[in-house]
Each structure stands twice: as structure tokens, then as C-alpha cells.
A = this chain, B = another copy of it.
Amino acid sequence: MRILIANVNTTEAITEAIAEQARAVAASGTEIIGLTPWFGAESVEGNFESYLAAIAVMDRVLAYDGPYDAVIQAGYGEHGREGLQELLNVPVVDITDAAASTAMYLGHAYSVVTTLDRTVPLIEDRLRLSGLYDRCASVRASGLAVLELEADPQRAVEAIVEQAERAVRDDKAEVICLGCGGMAGLDEQIRQRTGVPVVDGVSAAVTIAESLVRMGLSTSKVRTYATPRVKKVVGWPMRFGR
């Protein structure tokens, strides 16, 4: 089985970290292909960058020229998943949803700890639309930007632990979701520090994608995610920068 995992930003190092995390959890026999968009922002922390990422991810995935069985979109709270679902016949899994649906098997309520405060409403809104918000105790910001997380993992751990502890104590979260693709690999440390299960969205998404493939399930095409109608589309595919 081959799974494409698309980063939402243009930072190759993050793509690599995500793919490495995915490979660590993937079943033997699952090949993980990391994709970096050909255009967009070096980190995605807001609506403009997120909308640009949505298109850049679709563009990059469509440009992949081999066969594959599923696609993971590895951005937390980002736009675009529904577009991929229309364009593809294989299952599409967003790490925001994957972390949340996994967390709900582990406790009565979960919290997300993410990067900057400005991204909190985006994550809340995506969870609301995915129907996975009811058991969300809170979405909390660590205050660190995506690239700061990358640059200084230990500072990241401290900032995440602080918010995770508040989520458990004040918001009554029983599980913590790591709310950024770039946090992949920090889960074990944070679990040790907080004493609650910590869900990494990339890992969760890999297992869900594998499971869907194994069960022969893919996106329903009867309504919302039907293949786009045949029509004139200017400037697509973009292959921008190629």
C-alpha cells in the first residue's frame, strides 16, 4: 500500500519530519511518500496561507504520477480536504480529524494544543465542520510559531506541556492532541509530563488511512464529494514553479 502524505507548507524539513513520523507507525508493507507543495507559505498560520495551501496541496497531489492508495493532508486546521475528496477516488484523511476521532476513543473530552493563538479559531471551525467538536474541551495556543517549534523542540515541549496541563486541570480534558504537523515526534515526552494520552495526528491519520484501504472503503461520490463536473477551468493544473 502506498500513502501520500502532503505537507501544507513549503518547508522540506517539515515534510521530512512528518514522513518519518508516518513511517514509524505505518504497517510493514505500507510505503509513505512525503510531498511538499510547489508553492505557498513556509509555514501556515492563518486563513490566507491556509487557502493557498489548499490549492497547492491539490496541485501537488494531482501532479504525483504513480499509483497510490490514500492521501493524508498533514496540516492542522487547514482548508482543502474536501477538494481533494472531490478530485480523488482514494480515501483522504486530514490529521486534524484523525487526531480528534482517535482522542475520542481515549477519554470523555480532549483538548488540542497548537501553535499561535490566531490559528485557534481555524482549528475550532474545522472540527466543527467535521462533526468532531462536541467532545473538544478546548483548543489552546502554545504561543510558538510553526518554525520556532522546528527550531527549538525542547522549548516547544515546555510550552506545550504548560498548556496541556491547563487543559487537563481547567478545561477537564482527558486527552491531548498535538495541534501541528510540526509537533510530530513530541508525543511521548508530553505524555510522560502530563500523564494523559497524547495523540499525534500524523500517526493517527496513517492508521486510519491504512484501515480504510484495508476495508475497501473510499469517499462517497453521491453528493458533496462527487467528482467535479466537466467544465472549462483556466490555470489548472497549476504546476506553479515547475
Contacts and interface: CB of A to CB of B under 8 A. Distances in A.
A34 to B, nearest CB: 17
Contacts of A92: 105
Contacts of A222: 107, 168, 174, 195-196
Interface in A13-49: 25, 27, 38-43, 45-49
Contacts of A214: 25, 27, 207
A74 to B, nearest CB: 15
Contact of A215 (B80, B207, B234): B207
Contacts of A105: 91-93, 97, 101, 208, 212, 217
Copies of this protein, total: 6
A128 B231 CA distance: 29
Contacts of A174: 220, 222-225
A132 interface: yes
Interface string A44-83: 0111111110111010000000000000000000011011
Contacts of A129: 125, 128-129
A163 to B, nearest CB: 15
28 contacts: A27-B214, A38-B234, A39-B235, A39-B236, A40-B236, A45-B229, A46-B229, A47-B225, A48-B58, A48-B83, A48-B86, A48-B228, A51-B51, A51-B83, A52-B55, A54-B79, A97-B105, A105-B212, A107-B222, A108-B121, A118-B226, A120-B172, A128-B128, A168-B222, A174-B224, A196-B222, A207-B211, A235-B240
Interface stretch (A154-162, A178-186, A197-205): A197-205
A117 interface: yes
Contact of A97 (B10, B58, B104, B217): B104
